Structure 1
């Protein structure tokens, strides 16, 4: 293990296709300028192809760029005129077409232009790293390996790190540290085998699923109902995932596995079914072609029926017996029931789990250092809640092994591969000593790189120990705890971190405890989003009862505790990831500092349910507008911030949240979510070391007043007349304008935060009584979508 760090001042990405350009985009989010290379063009603009790749980044969804402004830090280059520029790059990643001959030709061409200390890697998804290393210049061989990003690179956590025999051990440590620390990725070291780990297991799972679906005559829609969230996998399940990947791509992958894995006992699974060829020949390649296994006709999604050769209506209903089994919480009982149930759906579910466990156990020694790598690869690369060995272990290691062995002996598995002997020699795949390494016949501990010591609460596999810290105080709404140091951590216990009376009570207790016994307070959620906002369901029930006093008290209590956070005698830091919406964002805005994961989506979205922000969010924006425009005209910024709130805009990243004013310039953005707690502790300690004093309460805000309200209302009038908003949108927007401008008072009148808080409460409660607002709340609770009435 090395104490050095890989310092990348500039990077190069070779290949400006969708994957290469998106890798470049993610590098810029880490503050690294990138040269993006592709073939030269015959036009005067010689790097036109690479330039087109950069422009395409601005159109793709989900957005590859954390901020559109980052596109300026990607420079288009070409392989003829700009090779000398490679000498300026410390990290060079190749992401061109997946053809061995073309890659080798490029390596020979660029080799002389790469500086002696640069790291040269390939993003290949399955070609042999060893064979590619054969044409890498001798001086670079020890720093060459595979670095396989998953698509889309910004959002997919997994990166596979694949060495060849000549890759230096220090190179792997430096790259793992860089990918984790700087790019925020989850790194899994894989062996140089076909398709590496995640795609090897993932593709096998898909083809095993297709095999058993065809064998048992199950429709594609039924299979997707069975293989999505019902068994801890994403909504894309199996056939919807195939459509997203592309059916032509799936066909190419299966050809590769067919040719490369001729000795695999499951080789018979690697044959494209006739329906796949039929769809490809018809041009129905999946999502990119507008049709694949599924096709949208009007508002209805239809599914391909291999028997008729046409599309039929989908049916995701399942037999009651299967529904009952899927609802069994105990994994051991669930798998046992599936193994003995005789319905086609149950036989199917047992068969795909049995094959998965059998396959992973049989190939563990070949493809991975330990069971840890396989489980993390499937969690991070395919979005599974648990990896295959975790699922097996959770269902009872020995009991499931006996069921699999029985099926092997009776010929039900259809393959002659035995369960490896080690399966019967251990009690679990993961434990206190690490994860089982089949080729070592021992347990392998977690990697001990320095970067992992920064992750106070990393993801742990089933069976591993997790340090949950020391509880200081716990109530119905909050847990106050520490990592055995001088910083208090507050974690809301409400679902989705929603704000209700118990949360407000808990936050008050957190401030009390922090001020009396600790150096600082961190707001952090160990799982799920930071906060999805106020408890809308409880508010709706109170409104229906006519109990506006409870709503008024909650709003006033939330405003008060937010002020306590802002003016606390000790530094308060909000560690944000995922959703920070409505009241959740207001909570974060009132902390002294914020530390946000790049994938943080922030917005004051109350207008979508017919309300306005009433936890001090509008008062905070008014204060910020004054601070940010002290020497100039405040109206342009006022209009911008007003539109954000009135339209319920949500940031697409933490960087966009900073542009929207929800994060301040002094706030920190981190790329690895497991480093949030470490970074938040660092902020507290830095503020304490600098002699922290809170801002003084009672500062005056020069209200935009009646002039500001009238000007903002003109925007609404134009939108109403253009039929872009409804009458109720106008009502809500007018009230938001009134509050953020400080009310119908003379422009420039000094007001306090409390004054604007009073306006927030008044207009919030008045909106609560309006039927159209109540309709919006009911619709949101029922459908999860806003109603524009």
Structure 2
């Protein structure tokens, strides 16, 4: 059947339920969010003379939960206005309304009896053939379906979202033996394409995949730290970004999530896994038990493995727990020779061999923890999944690991990992030795067509990972010789079908001379031998902007000719890209700031990730956008004049966006700010970004793309509009909202956006505005206060108000 999801019911409005509801609202789905009705009135409700039957009382719990979620940080919703897609209600009055829904998701308290009781009520109203799923993380899925009708059981499965659902990409799909295969296929596809998830098919075993392995890894780290006498700070240093894990690493993550959650999940796994070969790891260390007894649960109780205290002069300090004395002491800086040896190694996969080869306690830690993890995941197949890639997918998407366990093992070498496990007294599953004996030396490989394959236990051969045909993975193309040209900061790759890709690989993908050269080279090659170009990369961020350090260095040395040339080169690259004979598609994701935003402003079309944080942020360092950003925002505003909008209002909105250095909190908000335009596209799943952009480039080419002509008829308003802006800026200064230096920058920005020294509204060219913005930028680099702002960003990462 052709299943379409127009409306979803979410039953339970707690932390998970409200945020799942908001994520469905993010993608445009109507949501019915229900929860229990209160059993007693609050004092305030009593004063108002309300009764338990009053709608305001009955929906108090659900409305309060939703309101708290919308206001929470990080925000679970792309735009607050999108919360209007959610209608609230209660189980007493509104459960019947699930008859209008295509999918009902249960997210109530983790008790089997309560869930089964709710499902019994649901069956009275649920429309046959509609989806019914549970978000449980600890209760066997098949037990919840007991006693239900055949139609209910055929359409029932587990859909385990990870918190927060907007940001964590994992969605585990857990069918029962009775779940219809078409339902499983639909959930896998819908989660990927519409919800932007890495959908992983899991078996109905305790903890499913991610929590089973992730919690094992966390507890094994705790036990290893005890054996080696490592401190809290040392463990978090060893298990953080150096190995591609989150900055919060292991113990700080526990503080954020809550130690009570860790304890409850661990106890549940220990009870459900009496025959696990590593069940000794699921025994909570004594210090964790003691912390639980003391209610040292982390952020929610003000102390856990870390505690914020007031030091001398009232300044906040972070203290760490001494696991031997259970007392808090000032956090100590961590230094290990093994970590120092990896500082110059940018690629995480290349660090592992160095880390396990060391002679210090850190290397001991890595040898033991890696060996234990490798043994454990090898024994989970086929128990929790039949394919090893699903374990890697789950840990990357659910726990934020850059590399999954088997990918890490590959990076170390399968034989080496086997030896580490054996040295630690852990038994690796026999299939690994059999794989090696057959001459298969890796868990993954990329074939000649650039398709990533995994070692399949059942067939004892390499098979393509399902779904990767929908993705374009640049590393795979690189491995098969698809790089046409490269330098230190950029590469030009052949995506196939006549489309090129320009990829940045400078630090934070900053736009220096190497990247500019790569863009120009890409356009040259594409115009000669291809039919379109994509600008995209697989890094966490599209680009943090221009190389600010270089600007600062030139400005200190008063090398203004160098700065002028650098800006002119960037402007020329943007215009060369914009007015080439082939279509260019930008793919912003993560940070797309300053020059990274300007690049996308000049693309023919933008395919943006839903999680795109886009903005012209130059004002914050005492400058204005000069890579065509000020010009382009002025041009876009002028293009709307013909639509009948009040002209000064539109110009003022663009001015405020730039002068307040606004950054979108999502791609949806980037439309509101004018960084994205009608016709640009948003992709919820980052993995599909470059593939979608490639398809759009092909579509533009096949539609008969014609080289555009630079605009010479941009309407600017001259002194009349400039006077309005100067008056507004003066009022802001008089109210002490901005500093004198802010006034200087704002006035220069206004001068550019109104067209400079013009006595009346005039049509000007793009080059005219580019020259104005370049002159303004150049003059500001000679200001001491601008240099102070740039220095603050470069040295502390924090903006300076001076």
* TM-score past 0.5 threshold: yes
Which residue does the alignment assign to 1:491?
503
Q: Counterparts in 2 of 1:625-636, with a 5 A limit?
A: 625-630=637-642, 631-636=644-649
Cα RMSD after superposing both structures: 2.5
Which residue does the alignment assign to 2:662?
649
1:206 partner SS = helix
C-alpha offsets along residues 320-376 of structure 1, whole Å, 9 cap, x if unaligned?
Answer: 3664478788567436535xx4x5443333222221112212232211212111111
Alpha-carbon separation, structure 2, partners of 1:657 and 1:691: 28
Q: 1:54 touches 1:74 (CA, 8 Å); kept in 2?
A: no
Alpha-carbon separation, structure 2, partners of 1:549 and 1:5: 63
Which residue does the alignment assign to 2:433?
424
Which residue does the alignment assign to 1:770?
783
Which residue does the alignment assign to 2:4?
7
Which residue does the alignment assign to 2:439?
none
Alpha-carbon separation, structure 2, partners of 1:479 and 1:779: 32
Q: 1:486 touches 1:519 (CA, 8 Å); kept in 2?
A: yes
Indicate the larger mover: 83-92 or 231-240: 83-92
Q: Does 1:686 align with 2:699?
A: yes
Alpha-carbon separation, structure 1, partners of 2:192 and 2:127: 24
C-alpha offsets along residues 629-649 of structure 1, whole Å, 9 cap, x if unaligned?
Answer: 431312333222222211211
Indicate the larger mover: 470-479 or 378-387: 470-479
1:521 partner SS = strand
Q: Counterparts in 2 of 1:752-767, with a 5 A limit?
A: 752-767=765-780
Change (3 A) 1:159 1:480: same
Question: Once the 2 structures are TM-superposed, how far is the Cα of residue 293 of structure 1 from its aligned partner?
Answer: 1.5
Q: 1:141 touches 1:166 (CA, 8 Å); kept in 2?
A: yes
Indicate the larger mover: 772-781 or 649-658: 772-781
Question: Once the 2 structures are TM-superposed, how far is the Cα of residue 127 of structure 1 from its aligned partner?
Answer: 1.1
C-alpha offsets along residues 209-246 of structure 1, whole Å, 9 cap, x if unaligned?
Answer: 11222233322112111111222211111110100110
Change (3 A) 1:319 1:615: closer
Q: 1:435 touches 1:444 (CA, 8 Å); kept in 2?
A: yes
Indicate the larger mover: 213-222 or 690-699: 690-699
Q: 2:617 aligns with which of 605, 619, 631?
A: 605
Alpha-carbon separation, structure 1, partners of 2:80 and 2:549: 36
Q: Counterparts in 2 of 1:52-201, with a 5 A limit?
A: 52-201=64-213
Q: Does 1:435 align with 2:432?
A: no
Alpha-carbon separation, structure 2, partners of 1:634 and 1:336: 64
Alpha-carbon separation, structure 2, partners of 1:359 and 1:533: 42
Q: Could you tell me which runs of 5 or more consecutive residues in structure 1 were left unpaired when the two chains were aligned.
A: none
Q: Does 1:334 align with 2:345?
A: no
Q: Number of matched residues?
A: 768
Q: Counterparts in 2 of 1:347-366, with a 5 A limit?
A: 347-366=364-383
Alpha-carbon separation, structure 2, partners of 1:710 and 1:326: 53
Q: 1:469 touches 1:484 (CA, 8 Å); kept in 2?
A: no
Q: 1:5 touches 1:177 (CA, 8 Å); kept in 2?
A: no
Q: Does 1:588 align with 2:600?
A: yes
Q: 1:456 aligns with which of 472, 485, 488?
A: 472
Q: 2:18 aligns with which of 12, 17, 21?
A: 21
Which residue does the alignment assign to 2:327?
310
Q: 2:342 touches 2:354 (CA, 8 Å); kept in 1?
A: yes
Change (3 A) 1:5 1:234: farther
Q: Does 1:226 align with 2:223?
A: no
Which residue does the alignment assign to 1:470?
482
Which residue does the alignment assign to 1:392?
409
Q: 1:107 touches 1:135 (CA, 8 Å); kept in 2?
A: no
C-alpha offsets along residues 271-306 of structure 1, whole Å, 9 cap, x if unaligned?
Answer: 333433443444432123332221112421111224
Which residue does the alignment assign to 1:698?
711
1:625 partner SS = helix
Change (3 A) 1:501 1:337: closer
Indicate the larger mover: 320-329 or 155-164: 320-329
C-alpha offsets along residues 173-193 of structure 1, whole Å, 9 cap, x if unaligned?
Answer: 111111111111111111111
Alpha-carbon separation, structure 2, partners of 1:254 and 1:327: 37
Change (3 A) 1:576 1:709: same
Indicate the larger mover: 724-733 or 228-237: 724-733
Q: Could you tell me which runs of 5 or more consecutive residues in structure 2 were left unpaired when the two chains were aligned.
A: 39-51, 311-315, 437-441, 448-452
Alpha-carbon separation, structure 1, partners of 2:478 and 2:99: 44
Q: 1:589 touches 1:662 (CA, 8 Å); kept in 2?
A: yes
Alpha-carbon separation, structure 1, partners of 2:136 and 2:241: 30
C-alpha offsets along residues 406-447 of structure 1, whole Å, 9 cap, x if unaligned?
Answer: 432xxxx6xxxx332222111233346943455x37346345
C-alpha offsets along residues 33-76 of structure 1, whole Å, 9 cap, x if unaligned?
Answer: 11111113433233332222322232111111011111011111
Question: Once the 2 structures are TM-superposed, how far is the Cα of residue 503 of structure 1 from its aligned partner?
Answer: 2.6
TM-score in terms of structure 1 length:
0.92
Change (3 A) 1:407 1:761: closer
Alpha-carbon separation, structure 2, partners of 1:378 and 1:309: 31
C-alpha offsets along residues 751-770 of structure 1, whole Å, 9 cap, x if unaligned?
Answer: 22222211101110011111
Which residue does the alignment assign to 2:48?
none
Q: 1:370 touches 1:444 (CA, 8 Å); kept in 2?
A: no
TM-score in terms of structure 2 length:
0.91
C-alpha offsets along residues 735-785 of structure 1, whole Å, 9 cap, x if unaligned?
Answer: 112212222433523322222211101110011111121122222222222
Alpha-carbon separation, structure 1, partners of 2:736 and 2:481: 54
Question: Once the 2 structures are TM-superposed, how far is the Cα of residue 263 of structure 1 from its aligned partner?
Answer: 2.3
Q: Counterparts in 2 of 1:239-638, with a 5 A limit?
A: 239-298=251-310, 299-320=316-337, 323-324=340-341, 333-334=353-354, 336-337=356-357, 341=359, 343-408=360-425, 418-427=427-436, 428-431=442-445, 434-438=453-457, 440=458, 442-443=460-461, 445-448=463-466, 452-457=468-473, 470-630=482-642, 631-638=644-651
Q: Counterparts in 2 of 1:658-673, with a 5 A limit?
A: 658-673=671-686
Question: Once the 2 structures are TM-superposed, how far is the Cα of residue 78 of structure 1 from its aligned partner?
Answer: 1.8
1:661 partner SS = coil
Q: 2:138 touches 2:268 (CA, 8 Å); kept in 1?
A: no
Change (3 A) 1:296 1:704: farther
Q: 2:554 touches 2:563 (CA, 8 Å); kept in 1?
A: yes
